Amino acid sequence: MLPLNKLLTKLTLFFSLFSFLSSSPQSRAQEVPWGNRLTGGKNSADIVLATAQGSVYVCGYFFDPLVTKPEGYIRNYNSHGNLLWEQRLVFSDWGGIRNGRTDSMGNLYVLGSFSKSLLFKDEWIENTSSFDETIFIAKYSSTGEPEWIRPLPEGILYQRGSFALDSQMNIYVLCRQFIRVDANTITVSDKGSFILKYDAYGNYLEE
């Protein structure tokens, strides 16, 4: 005869297995944390941001050789993991969202870059600089409407974490600028670090 403690252990395991097998596949799928359902094999999530309203932004990109142009995405989920809306960013070459912030109204501000051109509100934004990429900031409303985009001055570089938003929804970007000394060479001049400031409408502020 089995000792009582071993018998209880076996009974516990039996009833646990029976309960799992008798549950439907649908109910078991619902037990998976919703964050585990964000991405598949051909897309990647890089940034997650929570809002005061309880929704969650996830920014990432698609990696699919069958897609003719690379795409980034912005998705907004409610607190239960249900998708509220999605916006795509289409790049003619490469690009992506590098950072983001939300304001008290649930609007989203993103900092990103692209190499050749970026499709925003049915308009292609071109990289007109002599460098390999253009840095940009853009705003999306809480309902997913793309509101504006602003390419930063030529030669701007940035670091992760160098993107801030104050209570008045002014935007601060910590930058480092490099100026090409000679158009025929790769020699550049380092102009040092500084902060660019924009208001909530994308207007550049000098003060």
pLDDT at 144: 95
pLDDT tens digits for 101-136?
999 999 999 998 888 888 998 899 888 777 778 889
Q: Output the six-digit token pair for 160.
A: 């992760």
CA angle 63, 69, 71 (to 5 degrees): 55
Does the pLDDT of residue 192 top 90, yes or no?
no
Q: Are 84 and 78 in contact (CB under 8 A)?
A: yes
- Residue showing tokens 């078991």: 28
Mean pLDDT of 154-180: 78
Q: How far is CA 38 from the centre of its chain?
A: 12
CA 43, 44, 48 angle in degrees (round to 5)? Answer: 135
pLDDT value for 168: 92
pTM tops 0.85: no
- pLDDT reported for residue 27: 43
Cα distance between residue 24 and residue 82, in whole Å: 21
Number of Cβ within 10 Å of residue 46's Cβ equals 14
For residue 73, give the nearest of 119, 106, 37, 115 by alpha carbon: 119
pLDDT value at residue 132? 76
Three-state secondary-structure class, residue 70:
coil
Range of weakest confidence among 26-30, 33-37, 140-144, 198-202: 26-30
Higher pLDDT, 91 or 1: 91
- Lowest model confidence (mean pLDDT) among 6-15, 33-42, 118-127: 6-15
